[in-house]
Amino acid sequence: MRHFARTSWFLNILVALFLCVATSRASFAQGELWVAECPACAQHLGGKGVIGPFPTVGACNKAVLDERNLGFIFGGCHQVSPSSASQMRWLTPGAAVIGSTVVFGAGSGLAGTFWNNPQGQTFGYGGAGLGAGTFGFAALALNARQMSRPAVVFTSALDFAAIGAGTAQAVQFRQEWANPQAPAPNNKSIVIGAAFGAAAGTIIGLLLPHKTGNHDHVTKAAASDIMADLSPENRKRSIFLRKLQSTNERGSPVDAPLTNDIGNRSTYNYFKVIEQFRVEDEENRRYQPGNKTYCNIFVWDVTRAMGFEIPHWVADDRGNRHEMRVNQLAGWLNETGKKQGWTHVDARMAQQMANDGHPSIAIWENPNSSISGHIAVIRPGSVGDERGAAISQAGRLVLDASHIDTGFNDPDHEKRVQYWYHE
């Protein structure tokens, strides 16, 4: 029986090693695959400069946005044939690690049940712990670069806890084999073994490589090299996208890739300027509400791109800058704004001016000066619509295409909304 148990254990190790490699590199056929490329990344960071393949264009687009937020300018997603992606896609790292752990733990535990000491104790639990921990960690080591740091550390701790508990049971098993008069198994030592194993596994997990976006150990210098290699247009767009996705730079102006001036006004140009800010996109956290709302920031960005900004900051006579809230902007329009070319009109005229490609806005000054009012961009739309002028806005409601009644919470048109446009 003892010879059979050892033979079973040896065979189980061979099978486990084979399954570990097979599971950690398991794959399945893919039909529709999407990738994105960054030639400058490949030049400066090595590798292919490609992320993917992804099963859907949505997953690919999200990865591209994440990379752009880090400063790596990947192009748009494009579809590749299965042959271009080797017709295969690896299983997720988590599936590989979990599959390895379960298969090897069960196999090792089963082999351990054939190994009994003179007291009748089997090595099933110890075998399961050592098998699951050892080969689970082997699969983790093969897949760690595709997993986040918390996942790597947690999995490593679990693997070594299992190894520690299995080792403690192995020591007891050996002692009882050598001394049939030894006391009954002590679960306390198994718990201690698991605790020491978990501590060791945590340390080892912190030392293992882990996923860091699509690039491991990217330096600021490498990122600067990538930015320097881009054309001025792409570099400007990269900074623009980063600011839209940031919550820390709302007080800084954005230089939009698409701008428009007096000599080139048109409905189409005005529409494209507004749309580039993608105000409803949740990835663009610059406009997303939190404890505060940012309707004035969106209007600032759009009017700045149109050549005549309604400012977020103004300087006093001493040159000190002051941040402007919406109620203050209403006063600024009636004083400084008029001098700079902003014209006060009614809703119908403001809509017509927007339709002709002129920057136009709607603003409501809250009668309660301690509470902010609201401001929105008037976008091209139907003149005389019963819902009010067509608008795009940030604020408590972030709306790419709506109307005054919804955006200003004014279904009965009772609020004293002012309308302004600029040539």
Q: Are 241 and 257 in contact (CB under 8 A)?
A: no
CA proximity to 260, closest of 350, 182, 346, 360? 360
Quickly tell me which residue has 């752009």 as its tokens.
Answer: 68
- Give alpha helix (H) positions in 306-407: 326-332, 338-339, 347-355, 404-407
Give the C-alpha separation, 176 to 188, whole Å.
16
Contact 33, 55 (CB under 8 A): yes
Give the type of residue at 70. L
What CA–CA distance (Å, rounded) separates 187 from 348?
82
* DSSP string for residues in 126-187: HHHHHHHHHHHHHHHHHHGGGS-HHHHHHHHHHHHHHHHHHHHHHHHHHHHHH-TTSPPP-H
Listed as ranges, residues in the chain with pLDDT below 50 are: 1-31, 44-46, 82-90, 213-220, 222
**Exposed, middle or buried, 225 (CB in 10 Å: 0-12/13-18/19+)?**
middle
In contact, 240 and 169? CB cutoff 8 Å: no
pLDDT score of 188: 79
- Among 46, 47, 51, smallest CA distance to 73 is for 51
What local confidence, expressed as pLDDT, does residue 7 receive?
43
Instruction: Give the per-residue pLDDT at 219.
Output: 46
Residue type for 240, please?
A: F
Residues 6 or more apart whose CB falls under 8 angstroms from that of 356 comprise 265, 266, 267
Let me know: does 351 contact 389? Beta carbons within 8 Å. Answer: yes
The count of residues in the chain is 423
- Note the pLDDT of residue 11: 44
Omega before residue 253 within 30° of 0, cis: no
Q: What pLDDT is stored for residue 105 in this prediction?
A: 65
Position 353: which residue type? M
Buried b (16+ CB within 10 A) or exposed e, 161-183: bbbbbbbbbbebbeebbeeeeee
Question: Which domains does the chain show, CATH number per domain?
Answer: 2-26+92-207 (no CATH), 27-90 (no CATH), 248-421 (3.90.1720.10)
CA–CA distance, 197 with 167 (Å, rounded to integer): 10
**Token pair 């490699």 in the structure block, residue:** 21
Residue 93 DSSP SS3: helix
Helix (H, G, I), strand (E, B) or coil at 80: strand
* Pairwise CA distance, residues 58 & 63, whole Å: 9
SS3 at position 322: strand
